[in-house]
Amino acid sequence: MKNVLILGAHGRIARIVERRLIDETDAHLTLVLRNADRLKVKDRNRETIVEGDVSDFKLISSVMAKQDIVYANLAGNMESLAKIIVRSMVANQVKQLVWVTGSGLYHETPEPFGSWVEGVVGHASKEDTRKAARIIEKSVLQYTIIRAAYMTDDHDIDYELTQKGEQFKGVLVSRASIADLILNIITKPRQFARTSVGISKPGTDDKLPELMARYD
C-alpha cells in the first residue's frame, strides 16, 4: 500500500485523483487543504484530512514523514512553495514528487498560443512557475513535472504527451485526462522519474480562437 500526500486537495484535479485512488487502488491518502470543511472523506480508513497552509514548513514536514509520493496541486507563490516542499521531502527522505503547472515553462509552446498563455496568466506569474520548476529540476527528487494545456472540465480522457525539448502540442486538455496521467505516475513512478511532460488533447491545435473568444 502506498502513502500518497496530496497538497491542495480541494483542487478540481486533486478531487478526481482522490476519488480514483480510493476506487482503484489500496493507497492511503493524506489530504492537505486550507479549509477542511470543504472536503468530504470518502473512506475514513484510508484518508486523513489535514487543515493548513502549504506555505507552513512545520506543517508540511509533520505530514511528510513516511509518505511514498507527493502530488502538489497548488496556486500562489510557486517558487516559495517549491522550496518548502523540496526541503521537506529531502529532510524526510521522500523522493517522488508530481508537480502540476501550465505549458510554457521553457517557451516550448508555439505561437500564437504561447504569447496568449503568457498574456492571460501574466508574465510575472509565468516567471514564478519557471523559477519553481528550476528548483525542482535541480533537486535530488524523482520528480515529474506536468505542463498542462488550457484545462477544461470535460469528462473525456484523451491526451498525448510531449517531452522537455519538444514543441508543445495542442491547446486544450481535460482535468480528467491530467488526473489519469497522475494516477499512472503514482502507480508507475519509475517510468516518469525526472521528466517534464506536456499534456494536451490530440487534434486541438486549431482551438485557440475558441479560447481567445472566452476572454474577449
Q: Domain span at residue 28?
A: 3-214
Q: What digits encode the pLDDT tens for the residues 69-107?
A: 999 989 889 999 999 999 999 999 999 999 999 999 999
Output the pLDDT for position 216. Answer: 59
Number of structural domains in the chain: 1
CATH number for 190:
3.40.50.720
Angstrom distance (rounded) from CA 159 to CA 178: 8
Angstrom distance (rounded) from CA 27 to CA 191: 19
Output the pLDDT for position 160. Answer: 97
Angstrom distance (rounded) from CA 104 to CA 205: 15
